């Protein structure tokens, strides 16, 4: 194994372990709720979880922007600028989380109105939503802390935070959903409270590590936090990444809304396939996060040649993993679905998506690695443009044709989403072949 592979794997393996476990909150909720007597419970959590994708996963731009900026400053050896970026990002996260909590009633109404679904799905989904939303400050601030650690090539701390968070979530889920270990039996609401508790523990752990290990590197002049040029750069980075994320979430939420109107069985099947899809994307994202750190550090240190070499090698790793997962999914998707639910009709609906989901995994992996490369390069304006083209120029027309005109149902909706990924691949590959992204703002 060469030096490049060793550098990548030192970051990618902990990132991979952390990234694979990130969707566990949703997966555990789906699996435990899926074994309750009513299919509507699973649809409710699925619908609410998509809304939380908009709020929590959607605010992942906070982590990305922090990693992008901190990685360049860390590569340049500038600890003060790293700390300033952390404080500015934490302030942004705290304000945004407060706005989300304040606007929770309106967000819930809009989300469930757009999603559709039966009255029973909406009833239980809203109960889940109004509890889990209380964890917003924990989630958003933890995203920033994670971005800071990754930008400094500290991958073990985010791994530890994620693992502890998920252990707490799994234990609390089991206790509160089913009323085990002396806890009340809360069902769907128990899953929401478990998520809030887990997020709070994760944030507390991140702050503790920051205070103990990084205290000497976090001292800055208060006035420097209001440097106009750097504040604007952070704002532009956040804005571009947020806009990119909104385009992606538009496609995802639109697909979920289409499926919700097909009935409870397609919606439940979609929820399961979405969790499986997320597991793949988060797994490959372990290498994408490594690309963010390595590319940013190399560009910050003034070595674009090393940045390209590391980007190319990380891409090879990602596509290889995508190929393996394609084989696994094409052979065992229905069996995997059986781990999430005992409802035969739902498993049959999932099985109908075997090739649609399985065959595109190598291409999906390449897209996720490209994201990491360009986030690390702080080439975020192009990322936004590429996503907008794929969402509105490819996915939207494809969904209209396949779902509404050809009446393709659940398969048609997922084929349209495959089109989104193909559009992203083509636009990002074009940029990757150029040298336009091999620059740093930190020098």
Q: Which comes out higher in pLDDT, residue 436 or 35?
A: 436
State the pLDDT at residue 20.
Answer: 66
State the pLDDT at residue 260.
Answer: 84
- The verdict on residue 442 lying in a domain is no
Tell me the range of 44-48, 95-99, 404-408 where mean pLDDT is highest: 95-99
| Contact between residue 293 and residue 148 where contact means Cβ atoms under 8 Å apart | no
177 by Cβ neighbours in 10 Å (0-12 / 13-18 / 19+) ranks as: buried
Total structural domains within the chain:
1
State the pLDDT at residue 176.
Answer: 87
- The verdict on residue 327 lying in a domain is yes
State the pLDDT at residue 54.
Answer: 74
- The verdict on residue 437 lying in a domain is no
Q: Which comes out higher in pLDDT, residue 90 or 280?
A: 90
Give the whole-angstrom CA distance, residue 167 versus residue 433: 42
- The verdict on residue 272 lying in a domain is yes
Q: Which of 71-80, 159-168, 215-224, 269-278 shows the lowest mean pLDDT across its residues?
A: 215-224
Question: Per-residue pLDDT for 392 more than 90?
Answer: yes
State the pLDDT at residue 1.
Answer: 66
State the pLDDT at residue 292.
Answer: 95
- What's the pLDDT tens digit per position in 167-177? 898 899 888 88
- The verdict on residue 130 lying in a domain is yes
Tokens of 296: 């940013």
- The verdict on residue 441 lying in a domain is no
Question: Per-residue pLDDT for 40 more than 90?
Answer: no
State the pLDDT at residue 23.
Answer: 60
Question: Per-residue pLDDT for 413 more than 70?
Answer: yes
Band (443; pLDDT cuts 50, 70, 90): low
**Once rounded to an integer, what is the mean pLDDT over residues 179-189?**
80
Question: Per-residue pLDDT for 223 more than 80?
Answer: no
- The verdict on residue 439 lying in a domain is no
**Once rounded to an integer, what is the mean pLDDT over residues 272-283?**
78
Question: Per-residue pLDDT for 24 more than 70?
Answer: no
- The verdict on residue 211 lying in a domain is yes
- What's the pLDDT tens digit per position in 56-87? 878 989 999 999 999 999 999 888 888 999 99
**Once rounded to an integer, what is the mean pLDDT over residues 1-28?**
78
User: How does the average pLDDT of the chain come out, rounded?
Assistant: 88
Band (233; pLDDT cuts 50, 70, 90): very high
Tell me the three-class secondary structure of the chain, residue by residue: CCHHHHHHHHHHHHHHHHHHHCCHHHHHHHHHHHCCCCHHHHHHHHHHHHHHHHHHHHHHHHHHHHHHHHHHHHHCCCHHHHHHHHHHHHHHHHHHHHHHHHCHHHHHHHHHHHHCCCHHHHHHHHHHHHHHHHHHHHHHHHHHHHHHHHHCCCCHHHHHHHHHHHHHHHHHHHHHHHCCCCCCCCCHHHHHHHHHHHHHHHHHHHHHHHHHHCHHHCCCCHHHHHCHHHHHHHHHHHHHHHHHHHHHHHHHHHHHHHHHCCCHHHHHHHHHHHHHHHHHHHHHHHHHHHHHHHHHHHHHCCCHHHHHHHHHHHHHHHHHHHHHHHHHHHHHHHHHHCCCCCCHHHHHHHHCCHHHHHCCHHHHHHHHHHHHHHHHCCCHHHHHHHHHHHHHHHHHHHHHHHHHHCCCHHHHHHHHHHHHHHHHHHHHHHHHCCCCCCCCCCC
**Residue range of the domain that includes 326:** 3-432
CA angle 107, 108, 109 (to 5 degrees): 95
State the pLDDT at residue 22.
Answer: 64
pTM score, two decimals?
0.86
**Once rounded to an integer, what is the mean pLDDT over residues 355-360?**
91
Q: Which comes out higher in pLDDT, residue 335 or 217?
A: 335
Give the whole-angstrom CA distance, residue 402 versus residue 398: 6
């Amino acid at each position: 194994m060469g030096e490049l592979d060793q550098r990548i794997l030192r970051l990618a393996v902990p990132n991979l372990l952390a990234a694979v476990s990130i969707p566990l909150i949703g997966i555990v909720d789906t699996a435990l709720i899926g074994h309750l007597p009513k299919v509507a419970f699973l649809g409710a959590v699925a619908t609410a979880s998509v809304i939380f994708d908009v709020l929590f996963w959607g605010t992942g731009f906070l982590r990305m922007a922090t990693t992008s900026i901190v990685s360049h400053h860390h590569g340049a050896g500038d600890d003060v600028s790293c700390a300033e970026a952390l404080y500015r990002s934490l302030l942004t996260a705290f304000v945004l989380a407060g706005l989300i909590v304040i606007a929770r009633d309106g967000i819930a109404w809009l989300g469930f109105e757009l999603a559709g679904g039966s009255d029973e799905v909406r009833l239980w989904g809203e109960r889940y939503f109004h509890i889990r939303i209380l964890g917003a400050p924990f989630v958003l601030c933890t995203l920033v802390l994670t971005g800071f650690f990754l930008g400094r090539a500290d991958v073990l701390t985010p791994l530890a935070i994620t693992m502890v968070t998920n252990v707490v979530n799994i234990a609390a889920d089991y206790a509160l959903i089913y009323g085990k270990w002396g806890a009340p039996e809360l069902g769907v609401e128990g899953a929401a409270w478990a998520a809030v508790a887990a997020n709070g523990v994760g944030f507390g752990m991140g702050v503790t590590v920051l205070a103990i290990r990084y205290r000497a590197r976090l001292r800055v002049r208060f006035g420097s936090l209001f440097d106009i040029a750097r504040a604007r750069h952070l704002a532009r980075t956040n804005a571009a990444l947020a806009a990119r994320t909104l385009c992606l979430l538009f496609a995802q939420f639109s697909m979920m809304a289409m499926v919700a109107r097909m009935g409870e069985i397609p919606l439940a099947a979609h929820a399961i396939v979405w969790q499986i899809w997320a597991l793949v994307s988060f797994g490959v994202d372990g290498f994408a996060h490594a690309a963010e750190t390595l590319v940013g550090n190399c560009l910050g240190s003034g070595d674009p040649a090393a940045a390209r070499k590391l980007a190319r090698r990380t891409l090879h790793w990602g596509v290889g993993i995508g190929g393996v997962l394609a084989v696994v999914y094409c052979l065992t998707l229905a069996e995997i679905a059986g781990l999430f639910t005992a409802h035969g009709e739902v498993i049959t609906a999932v099985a109908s998506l075997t090739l649609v989901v399985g065959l595109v995994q190598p291409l999906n992996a390449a897209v996720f690695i490209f994201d990491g490369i360009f986030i690390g390069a702080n080439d975020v304006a192009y990322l936004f443009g590429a996503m907008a083209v794929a969402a509105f120029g490819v996915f939207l027309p494809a969904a209209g044709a396949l779902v509404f005109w050809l009446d393709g149902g659940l398969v048609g909706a997922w084929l349209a989403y495959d089109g989104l990924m193909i559009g992203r691949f083509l636009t990002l590959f074009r940029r990757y072949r150029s040298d336009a992204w091999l620059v740093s703002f930190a020098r």
